[in-house]
Amino acid sequence: MRASSPCLLLLSGAVLTLLAAATTITDTIPILKAPEAFHEQLVLKPLNDGSVYSHFQFTTHIGTMMDDDHFDGAASNLFKHYNLFPRSIGQILHSFEVEELHLTFTQGRWQYSDWGYPLAPSAGTGVELWAWLNNDKRQIDEHWKGLTNTLSGLFCASLNFIDDTITTEPKLSFRNEGLYNTHSAPYISTHNDNNSTIPRKLRYGSLPHENVCTENLTPWIKLLPCKSKAGIASLLKSHKLFDTRFYSMAVHVRSVCEDEKCRVRSLELVQTITAVFDVARHDGSFDWSISSLFERQITQSCPLASTSKVIVNLPQTTEIENQYSLVPYPLQGIYSEGSGDKKQEVAVYDLKETFAETTTPFQLALHWEGSRPKSVRAITPGIVAHRYFTGFGQERGGLAIEIRNHDSQDIEAVFLDTLPWYLKLYLHTFSIQLNGKTLDNQRDLVQKMFYQPAVDRSRPAVLEMALKLPADSLVKFTVSFDKVFLKYTEHRPDANRGFDVGYAVLTAQLPREQGQIGYGGLDHLRIYQEREAGLVQGRRGGNSNQDKEKEGQEGVTDKIRVYTDTLLVSLPTPDFSMPYNVITMTCTVISLFFGSVFNLMMRNFEVVKPASSSKKNGSGKGKAEKTE
């Protein structure tokens, strides 16, 4: 690595000069083109229960000019030449006409009630893939199939199992995230809606029982400009990453606006890794350092990165001020936002600056005064959702969904649940309870409801509801179903394990609250990135001031998605060895004995004398006739 770094530096220098040249040229030409850029960022936060949350975010921008209505990579020569943007992703986007792509691999469960909401927008266990595809040529289903199969190959995952029986098209959830950021917030309301002329279509699929491992991480790292050779990505050691309480790895591609009127847009590739380390597992100590978490060090920043930052969300203690010490103390000092209970302090380390001064590896450690941080402010997430099966036995069952709203105001949310076809839902049994009492008038709570009944062996049941959750409430939905007796070839090899049923997703607009770990959704990250790291100050000019004003305003909301746990359903399972035994046994018995016994019962045995005359024969025949 040491040997290669000068080479890399040279290369990066060349690229940077090229980029600079490109920007100067584009400024003179009427076609606007934003520069290509790569940013790397690591957010660390000690959680309330002593775990440490780490969020890697790598953002690659590739500028383009688009016409008013839709993004067309081919027209703008976007996918002809690649510098920082990974070619494998670019080609996929190009050949399957993907407008927006979100792919997440997750292992473990996010504990909402302990940890708040994650910075990563997706947190459902397993693999989640959703994409907006261009449906100009009405080839969306082929494209989707191609997309899943190609990604399956690219990431060494079973994404090709997302077939028609799993794929859905949600009506309210998973809206377009592209062409939407702080600058274009008003733009979205007018343009990016159903009345838009762009024939985009959404496809959504998830695999709840997909295991995530090193084989998925390696191709993911390959998409980075510096791989894991330099910069923050050098911390990615799979041994440590997969031994965590929660691990999530994502690729998000979307187009975003670069100016106010959205004339300049860029294609954004965001790669995130989120991991929650249980630091107290072994010795009970809550102290941590970068080398203890990752067992690696950052020896240099990625030369290709425009920015390279490590951000620490400091724990908010309630009683005593300096319960912990951060080593080293950040050069720029500690930022703080909010006040009182919602105060959040942030320490920012700029690796570019750090490594400009010194070549020693970057160190960071947090030590607690006591053995256990007791006075850390508790987290109360606004919305928590749980889903579980009711009943027992293999014939029928029920599904219960509990949504708690801890917030002091009504919250609008969209609930999406996809259930496989082998659970036959009975919609007439659908009932809603509010704080333990059955609701007769559901209109106040459920404002819209979409239900797509399942079709055997071809599509799942989809239940989608726009909800208005009352303040401080517990809403409970219940519905009953029958379990289908599958054909015996449809059982998996591990038939007695049961079938995994994927999570339900609750999308909600939550009032922005400081002090929580994150707000779920890429947009916040972008804001965060821009403001804290001062990324695009020069490019944006005065816009960031506007943002800050907006931040201060009341009523600013963040879109979050809450994922429920996945479930296991046991369907009626035949004893696969028994029929086999019975069949072979019966067949043997029948084949051995049937013929002889049948013969003995029914055949007429008579002694035929060899030298018999025709007369005797005749009488014998006569006898036979008589007895018959």
Partner 1 sequence: MGLLSRLSKAQRQQIFGRFVLSWMPTLSYVMVAVSFFWLLALPHQDYSKRTYVSENALLPGSANVQFNWDDNLAAEAFRDTVQRIASLPSIERAQALEQQFAAIGLKSATQNYTLNTSTESLHGVNTYAVFYAPRSDGTEALVLSASWLSRDKTTNTNAISILLSLGKTFKRGSHFSKDIIFVVSDGEAEGLQAWLKAYHGNEESTYERHEEPLRVRSGAIQAALNLDFAGTGDYNALGIFFEGVNGQLPNLDMINTINLISMGIAPVELTLHDELVPYTDNMTKNYLNSLRKMLYQMKYQAVGTPTGNHGLYLKYKIDAITLYGIDRPGWHSHRFNLFRVGALLESTVRSLNNLLEHLHQSFFFYLLSDVRRYTSIGLYMPPVIILGVSFIFQALSLWGLSGDLPLELESIAEGDKTVPVALPYSRRSRNFKVASTTMGMAIVTGAATFHLLTTEFGLVGETPMLKLVASVGVCSMLVLSAVSTAHVRAQIIKSASNAQTTRAIHSDSKGGSTNSDKSHVVADQELTPAADWIMLKTLILALSALIVTTLSALNFSLAVSMGVLIVLPYMAFRPSRWTVVSIVEALILLAISPPGLMMVASWWYAKDPSEVLSWVLREYEILGTWLLPTACFIYWPLNLAAVIMVLLPVS
Footprint of partner 1 (CB under 8 A): 49, 107-109, 111, 125-126, 208-209, 242-247, 278, 281-282, 386, 388-394, 398, 400, 478, 494-498, 500, 565-568, 570, 573, 575, 599-604, 627
Choice between 345 and 500, CB closer to partner 1: 500
φ, ψ for residue 122, nearest 5 deg: -110, 140
Q: In angstroms, what is the minimal distance from the CB of 492 to partner 1?
A: 10
Q: In angstroms, what is the minimal distance from the CB of 275 to partner 1?
A: 11
Choice between 332 and 599, CB closer to partner 1: 599
Q: In angstroms, what is the minimal distance from the CB of 559 to partner 1?
A: 25
Choice between 168 and 480, CB closer to partner 1: 480
CA angle 313, 311, 283 (to 5 degrees): 60
Q: What is the DSSP letter of 571?
A: P
- Is the Cα dihedral 167, 173, 176, 181 positive or negative? negative
512, 527 contact by CB (below 8 A): no
482, 395 contact by CB (below 8 A): yes
Q: How many CA atoms lie within 13 A of 206 on its CB side?
A: 28
Nearest to 342 by CA among 553, 514, 512, 511: 514
267, 253 contact by CB (below 8 A): yes
Q: In angstroms, what is the minimal distance from the CB of 476 to partner 1?
A: 9
Q: In angstroms, what is the minimal distance from the CB of 221 to partner 1?
A: 20
**Hey, what are 95's tokens?**
């050949």
Distance of alpha carbon 532 from alpha carbon 534, whole angstroms: 6
Neighbouring-strand partners of residue 103: 129, 251
Q: In angstroms, what is the minimal distance from the CB of 386 to partner 1?
A: 7
Choice between 275 and 348, CB closer to partner 1: 275
Choice between 496 and 557, CB closer to partner 1: 496
Dihedral of the CA atoms 429, 434, 437, 438 (nearest 10)? -20
Q: In angstroms, what is the minimal distance from the CB of 555 to partner 1?
A: 32
Choice between 408 and 604, CB closer to partner 1: 604
What is the number of other CB atoms lying within 10 angstroms of the CB of residue 534?
A: 14
Neighbouring-strand partners of residue 246: 108, 276
Choice between 209 and 229, CB closer to partner 1: 209
**Hey, what are 292's tokens?**
């203890």
Q: In angstroms, what is the minimal distance from the CB of 87 to partner 1?
A: 33
Choice between 282 and 428, CB closer to partner 1: 282
Distance of alpha carbon 47 from alpha carbon 52, whole angstroms: 6
